[in-house]
Amino acid sequence: MQTVKMVVTGTFSAGKTEFIRSISEIDVVQTERKITNPAEQIKESTTVAMDFGRITVDDDLVLYLFGTPGQRRFDFMWEILSEGMLGFVVMVDSTRAETFQESKRILDTFRTYAPTPFVVAANKQDHPDAWEPSDLRIVLRIDPEVKVLPCVALEKDSVKTVLLELLYSILDSVEDEGESS
Protein backbone atom coordinates (compact mmCIF):
# COMPACT_ATOMS: atom_id res chain seq x y z
CA MET A 1 0.00 0.00 0.00
CA GLN A 2 1.38 3.36 -0.98
CA THR A 3 0.17 6.58 0.55
CA VAL A 4 0.82 9.95 -0.96
CA LYS A 5 -0.07 13.33 0.40
CA MET A 6 -0.88 16.79 -0.75
CA VAL A 7 -1.09 19.83 1.44
CA VAL A 8 -3.68 22.59 1.33
CA THR A 9 -2.42 25.80 2.83
CA GLY A 10 -3.50 29.40 3.03
CA THR A 11 -4.54 32.11 5.43
CA PHE A 12 -7.13 31.70 8.10
CA SER A 13 -10.61 31.41 6.58
CA ALA A 14 -9.31 31.07 3.04
CA GLY A 15 -11.39 27.91 2.62
CA LYS A 16 -8.95 25.08 3.36
CA THR A 17 -11.41 23.11 5.43
CA GLU A 18 -14.19 23.49 2.86
CA PHE A 19 -11.85 22.47 0.09
CA ILE A 20 -10.85 19.22 1.76
CA ARG A 21 -14.37 18.54 2.95
CA SER A 22 -15.74 18.87 -0.58
CA ILE A 23 -13.60 16.07 -1.94
CA SER A 24 -12.65 13.80 0.94
CA GLU A 25 -14.39 10.45 1.14
CA ILE A 26 -14.23 10.43 4.91
CA ASP A 27 -15.55 13.06 7.23
CA VAL A 28 -12.81 15.57 7.41
CA VAL A 29 -11.02 15.20 10.65
CA GLN A 30 -11.06 18.72 11.81
CA THR A 31 -9.32 19.09 15.07
CA GLU A 32 -10.01 21.96 17.29
CA ARG A 33 -8.55 23.21 20.41
CA LYS A 34 -9.99 20.81 22.91
CA ILE A 35 -8.45 19.86 26.18
CA THR A 36 -9.64 16.54 27.42
CA ASN A 37 -7.09 15.65 30.03
CA PRO A 38 -7.46 17.74 33.18
CA ALA A 39 -3.76 17.36 33.84
CA GLU A 40 -3.14 19.27 30.65
CA GLN A 41 -5.28 22.19 31.47
CA ILE A 42 -2.30 24.10 32.72
CA LYS A 43 -0.72 23.96 29.31
CA GLU A 44 -2.49 26.41 27.12
CA SER A 45 -3.87 25.32 23.78
CA THR A 46 -2.30 21.97 23.31
CA THR A 47 -4.14 21.13 20.16
CA VAL A 48 -4.14 22.72 16.80
CA ALA A 49 -6.79 23.05 14.17
CA MET A 50 -5.97 20.96 11.15
CA ASP A 51 -7.81 19.09 8.47
CA PHE A 52 -7.23 15.62 7.30
CA GLY A 53 -9.00 14.10 4.32
CA ARG A 54 -8.61 11.00 2.22
CA ILE A 55 -9.21 9.75 -1.30
CA THR A 56 -8.77 6.04 -1.91
CA VAL A 57 -7.53 5.30 -5.38
CA ASP A 58 -7.49 1.53 -5.24
CA ASP A 59 -6.39 -1.30 -2.99
CA ASP A 60 -2.87 -0.08 -2.85
CA LEU A 61 -2.92 3.65 -3.33
CA VAL A 62 -4.37 6.28 -1.04
CA LEU A 63 -4.12 10.04 -1.26
CA TYR A 64 -4.21 12.09 1.91
CA LEU A 65 -5.01 15.76 2.01
CA PHE A 66 -3.74 17.81 4.88
CA GLY A 67 -4.91 21.31 5.66
CA THR A 68 -2.36 23.33 7.51
CA PRO A 69 -3.18 24.82 10.86
CA GLY A 70 -3.98 28.47 10.52
CA GLN A 71 -2.35 29.88 13.58
CA ARG A 72 0.94 31.51 12.92
CA ARG A 73 2.57 30.16 15.99
CA PHE A 74 2.23 26.71 14.52
CA ASP A 75 4.32 27.59 11.51
CA PHE A 76 6.82 24.99 12.53
CA MET A 77 4.31 22.34 11.64
CA TRP A 78 4.07 23.47 8.09
CA GLU A 79 7.49 22.14 7.50
CA ILE A 80 6.74 18.88 9.20
CA LEU A 81 3.60 18.54 7.15
CA SER A 82 5.22 19.38 3.90
CA GLU A 83 7.66 16.56 4.28
CA GLY A 84 7.25 14.16 1.40
CA MET A 85 4.27 15.93 -0.11
CA LEU A 86 3.51 15.49 -3.77
CA GLY A 87 2.45 19.06 -4.19
CA PHE A 88 0.41 21.78 -2.53
CA VAL A 89 -2.49 24.12 -3.04
CA VAL A 90 -2.33 27.68 -1.77
CA MET A 91 -5.86 28.82 -1.03
CA VAL A 92 -6.41 32.55 -1.26
CA ASP A 93 -9.55 34.29 -0.07
CA SER A 94 -10.11 36.33 -3.22
CA THR A 95 -12.63 38.53 -1.45
CA ARG A 96 -10.25 39.87 1.16
CA ALA A 97 -7.40 41.93 -0.17
CA GLU A 98 -6.05 42.41 3.32
CA THR A 99 -5.05 38.73 3.36
CA PHE A 100 -3.08 38.78 0.11
CA GLN A 101 0.23 39.74 1.64
CA GLU A 102 -0.03 36.99 4.22
CA SER A 103 -0.95 34.55 1.44
CA LYS A 104 2.20 35.52 -0.36
CA ARG A 105 4.25 34.96 2.76
CA ILE A 106 2.73 31.51 3.26
CA LEU A 107 3.34 30.64 -0.36
CA ASP A 108 6.99 31.70 -0.17
CA THR A 109 7.52 29.82 3.06
CA PHE A 110 6.11 26.63 1.60
CA ARG A 111 8.25 26.89 -1.47
CA THR A 112 11.34 26.86 0.68
CA TYR A 113 10.25 23.58 2.26
CA ALA A 114 10.16 21.54 -0.88
CA PRO A 115 10.52 22.20 -4.58
CA THR A 116 7.28 20.41 -5.30
CA PRO A 117 4.72 21.72 -7.75
CA PHE A 118 1.91 23.89 -6.46
CA VAL A 119 -1.10 25.80 -7.67
CA VAL A 120 -2.83 28.88 -6.35
CA ALA A 121 -6.57 28.58 -5.84
CA ALA A 122 -8.32 31.94 -6.09
CA ASN A 123 -11.12 30.88 -3.80
CA LYS A 124 -14.64 32.21 -3.23
CA GLN A 125 -15.10 33.09 -6.88
CA ASP A 126 -18.85 32.78 -6.37
CA HIS A 127 -18.67 35.91 -4.25
CA PRO A 128 -19.35 39.27 -5.96
CA ASP A 129 -16.31 40.85 -4.29
CA ALA A 130 -13.89 38.21 -5.50
CA TRP A 131 -10.78 39.37 -7.30
CA GLU A 132 -10.06 37.82 -10.69
CA PRO A 133 -7.42 35.11 -10.75
CA SER A 134 -5.44 37.12 -13.27
CA ASP A 135 -5.37 40.10 -10.92
CA LEU A 136 -4.32 37.89 -8.06
CA ARG A 137 -1.47 36.59 -10.13
CA ILE A 138 -0.14 40.09 -10.45
CA VAL A 139 -0.71 41.07 -6.85
CA LEU A 140 0.88 37.89 -5.51
CA ARG A 141 3.68 38.03 -8.10
CA ILE A 142 3.13 34.48 -9.26
CA ASP A 143 5.53 33.09 -11.84
CA PRO A 144 3.96 32.56 -15.26
CA GLU A 145 4.48 28.80 -15.14
CA VAL A 146 2.46 28.50 -11.93
CA LYS A 147 -1.29 28.10 -12.33
CA VAL A 148 -3.66 30.50 -10.61
CA LEU A 149 -7.06 28.83 -10.77
CA PRO A 150 -10.56 30.07 -10.04
CA CYS A 151 -12.08 28.09 -7.20
CA VAL A 152 -15.26 27.70 -5.21
CA ALA A 153 -14.31 25.41 -2.38
CA LEU A 154 -17.93 24.64 -1.63
CA GLU A 155 -18.32 22.95 -5.01
CA LYS A 156 -16.90 19.53 -5.60
CA ASP A 157 -16.33 20.03 -9.32
CA SER A 158 -14.35 23.16 -8.72
CA VAL A 159 -12.17 21.41 -6.15
CA LYS A 160 -11.70 18.48 -8.52
CA THR A 161 -10.46 20.82 -11.20
CA VAL A 162 -7.94 22.42 -8.89
CA LEU A 163 -6.61 19.06 -7.76
CA LEU A 164 -6.42 17.79 -11.31
CA GLU A 165 -4.51 20.87 -12.44
CA LEU A 166 -2.10 20.30 -9.60
CA LEU A 167 -1.70 16.68 -10.60
CA TYR A 168 -1.01 17.69 -14.21
CA SER A 169 1.74 19.98 -12.93
CA ILE A 170 3.09 17.13 -10.84
CA LEU A 171 2.99 14.85 -13.84
CA ASP A 172 5.01 17.36 -15.81
CA SER A 173 7.63 17.44 -13.09
CA VAL A 174 8.00 13.68 -12.80
CA GLU A 175 10.77 12.18 -14.84
CA ASP A 176 9.67 9.52 -17.25
CA GLU A 177 9.00 6.44 -15.13
CA GLY A 178 11.09 7.54 -12.12
CA GLU A 179 13.05 4.78 -10.45
CA SER A 180 12.11 5.09 -6.78
CA SER A 181 8.64 5.05 -5.36
Partner 1 sequence: MALKGNLRDFSTTQLLNLINLARKTGTLTVERNSKEVARMSFREGSLIFASVSHGNSRLSNILERAGKLSAEQANTIRKERGKAGDKELGMMLINAGLVSQADIIESVRRHTLEIVYRQFTWGEGVFRFDANVLPPPERITVPINLEGVIMEGSRRLKEGERLQDELPDLDMALKFADRPSAGIRNISLAVEEWRVVSFINPRNTIRQIAKANSMSDVQIRRIVYGMMHAGLVELVPCEGAKPTEPDRPERVAPGKRPAPMAQAPAVKRSVVMRLIDRIRRI
Among 56, 71, 101, 134, binds partner 1 (CB under 8 A): 56
Among 9, 11, 17, 158, binds Mg ion (CB under 5 A): 17
CA distance 181 to 44: 40
Q: Is there binding between residue 105 and partner 1 (CB under 8 A)?
A: no
Residue 56 exposed, middle or buried by CB count within 10 Å (0-12, 13-18, 19+): exposed
Which listed option, ligand GDP, partner 1, Mg ion, none, makes contact with residue 24 (CB within 5 to 8 Å by class)?
none
Q: How far is the CB of 137 from ligand GDP (least distance, A)?
A: 18
Q: Is there binding between residue 55 and partner 1 (CB under 8 A)?
A: yes
- Considering only residues 56 to 85 of the shown chain, the ones binding ligand GDP according to CB under 6 A are 70
Helix (H, G, I), strand (E, B) or coil at 181: coil
Among 128, 129, 145, 171, binds partner 1 (CB under 8 A): 171
CA distance 55 to 167: 14
Determine contact, residues 149/161, Cβ cutoff 8 Å. Answer: yes
Q: What type of residue sits at position 9?
A: T
List of residues contacting Mg ion (CB under 5 A): 17
